[in-house]
Amino acid sequence: MAALQAANLFGVAGKRVLVTGGGSGIGAMMAAGFAANGASVIIASRNAEALAATAAEVKKTTSADIEIVVADLGSRAGCEALAAEVAAEPLDVLVNNSGTSWGEPLDRESGRANWGWDKVLDLNVKAPFYLTRALRPALEAAAGAGAPARVVMVGSVAGLTHQPTPTHAYDTSKAALHSLTKKFASDLAPKVTVNAIAPGFVPSRMTKGLEAWGITLDGIAKHVPLGRVGAAADMAGAALFFSSPAGSWVSGVVLPVDGGHLAQGIPMPGDL
């Protein structure tokens, strides 16, 4: 019965984990969760200062060391360079979290539309594809009998139902990422599971950008059935489930973690 004990079901101690976009927001929350539970964590992003600050904060609260790698995942070359840097040893878990957003009303023609769409699709869709493909050998090397390696995509409820904001590229990119999750789940089985977490509204630099469209986290919380926005434990808990023995027979799933927000629909800005 030891296998049914929580420490064994949800344990990730000793696993080697890469979290992209791990210097802030949801990526930092997940990285802290893995580190607090004994995993060996690597965080990567373009922002060296943010990575260093997150690593220092995690060490302060968990006594765990986090490895940092500065990487630009906005291009295939950048993804493959990161893979080359971390693939010297088997990789148990890849968390594809790096992402960005951009929005502009349809009737506004700023001249930045091509740039916005390219930037969002490059980081939110192409990067997970190129990075996962490049790290496939390292992931498969970590797999054991009945213990597949894991890929966790960070999608969004906006990929399941569009937001009431002109974030066309972002919403589309997350829907594409959810589809890629299911495609990869088929392609990489049985040595690797691939699942996606679709967060609702969680405090981050990206969600703060919604204020430009009249949406605030305080306003959102009033409309979430469970009465609040997301927190670090919510994001880390979902990632730990997919990455632990408890999630070893789960693949191709897109899991909304949103306080029930999606179930009742996302309200319009005027309601917030």
List, by residue number, the catalytic residues: 170
Q: Crossing angle of helices 25-36/232-243, nearest 10°?
A: 60
- Chain length of the chain: 272
Biggest CA-to-CA distance, the chain: 63
252: left (phi over 0), alpha (psi -120 to 50) or beta: left
Separation between Cα atoms, residue 59 and residue 70, nearest integer Å: 19
Separation between Cα atoms, residue 187 and residue 176, nearest integer Å: 16
Per the CB < 8 A criterion, the answer to whether 185 and 194 are in contact is yes
Separation between Cα atoms, residue 170 and residue 159, nearest integer Å: 8
Dig out the tokens for 58 from the structure: 């995690």
Inter-CA distances, 71 with 68, 86, 97, 191, Å: 9, 11, 13, 27
Residues 6 or more apart whose CB falls under 8 angstroms from that of 2 comprise: 8
Separation between Cα atoms, residue 36 and residue 236, nearest integer Å: 10
Per the CB < 8 A criterion, the answer to whether 181 and 155 are in contact is yes
Looking at residue 230, the DSSP 8-state letter turns out to be -
